[in-house]
């Protein structure tokens, strides 16, 4: 079955360290997204991509970056982790820019000490 | 600015009951609306996607309706089971910012045996 996998599922890091969260999907979807989920804020979009070499900022992109070198992967990098970036991060993908169903990974729980 | 509201925030019902979860949104200019289920510590599982031109979608014991003009959607769960216990989220894809979904804060459902 096609799926979307995230790694690591849990990570603890220190303030100032660089962290990369991996996302890999086997649906061959063009569109990929990164969201963060926080109590009181719900799900918020960090970055998204409509295809290889395309990346765009979402509503909470400061301190994060992504790159899209192939269809299957969209890694999320925290350049210098901050305590405010402690959160659960979800990767998602869809086919069809406006009408496609969105599918989510299992999430990566990041704690920044 | 599009806002999505889900009422009630929490719901507890005995097993076997039919129940309705509500979702309202402030701007009717949407491409589609999607219902998700989230179990504790897990990712979001897509339940139903309703395009703006559709009135309802059905999958097994689930039926979702959409009244775009009034800004409302309902998720009907027939013959509820303890395994239905989870948080249910609705999300809309706005026409003016189609790259992202706007999520409600969810309804936490407990089905008691």
Give the tens place of pLDDT for each residue, B51-103: 999 999 999 999 999 999 999 999 999 999 999 999 999 999 999 988 889 99
Q: What are phi and psi of A28, to 5 degrees?
A: 65, 30
Rounded Cα distance, B54 and A28, in Å? 27
Contact A99, A30 (CB under 8 A): no
Residue B97 has what pLDDT? 85
Summarize chain A as % helix, strand, coil (round to 5): 5, 50, 45
A96 contacts A7 by C-beta, under 8 angstroms = no
Average pLDDT of span A78-98 = 93
| Average confidence (pLDDT) over A82-104 | 91
Strand, coil or helix: what is A29? coil
The arithmetic mean of pLDDT across residues B18-23, rounded, is: 97
Optimal mutation site among B99, B105, B107, B108, interface A, most CBs of chain A within 10 A: B99
Flag whether pLDDT at A1 surpasses 70: no
* B108 vs B85: CA distance, rounded Å: 8
The DSSP element (H or E) to which A74 belongs, if any, is: none
Bridge partners of B47, per DSSP, are none
Note whether B50 and B57 are within 8 A (CB).
Answer: yes
Structure tokens given for A12: 């603890």
pLDDT of residue B73: 98
CB contact B59 to A (< 8 Å):
no
Quick one: pLDDT band at residue A96, thresholds 50, 70, 90? confident
**Whole-number Å distance between alpha carbons of A8 and B11:** 33
Whether residues A97 and B98 touch (CB distance < 8 A) is answered with yes
Please report the pLDDT score of residue A40 as a whole number.
80
CB contact under 8 A, A98 and B93: yes
Interface size between A and B, measured as CB pairs under 8 A? 49
**What is the distance, to the nearest Å, from the Cα of residue A105 to the centroid of all Cα atoms in its chain?**
9
- pLDDT above 90: residue A2: no
């Amino acid at each position: 079955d096609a799926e979307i996998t995230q790694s690591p599922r849990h990570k603890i890091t220190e303030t100032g360290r660089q962290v990369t969260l991996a996302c890999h999907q086997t649906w061959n979807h063009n569109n990929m997204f990164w969201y963060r989920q926080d109590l009181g804020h719900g799900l918020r979009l960090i970055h998204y991509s409509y295809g290889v070499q395309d990346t765009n900022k979402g509503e909470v992109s400061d301190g994060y970056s992504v790159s899209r070198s192939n269809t299957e992967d969209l890694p999320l990098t925290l350049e210098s982790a901050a305590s405010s970036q402690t959160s659960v991060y979800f990767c998602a993908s869809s086919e069809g820019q406006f009408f496609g169903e969105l599918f989510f990974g299992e999430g990566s729980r990041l704690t920044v000490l | 600015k599009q806002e999505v509201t889900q009422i009630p925030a929490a719901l507890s019902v005995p097993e076997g009951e039919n129940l309705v979860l509500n979702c309202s949104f402030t701007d009717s200019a949407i491409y589609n609306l999607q219902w998700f289920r989230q179990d504790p510590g897990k990712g979001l599982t897509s339940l139903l996607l309703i395009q703006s031109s559709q009135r309802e979608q059905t999958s097994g014991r689930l039926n979702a309706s959409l009244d775009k003009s009034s800004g409302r959607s309902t998720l009907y769960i027939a013959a509820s089971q303890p395994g239905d216990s989870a948080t249910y989220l609705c999300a809309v894809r706005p026409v003016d910012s189609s790259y992202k979904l706007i999520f409600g804060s969810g309804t936490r459902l407990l089905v008691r045996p």
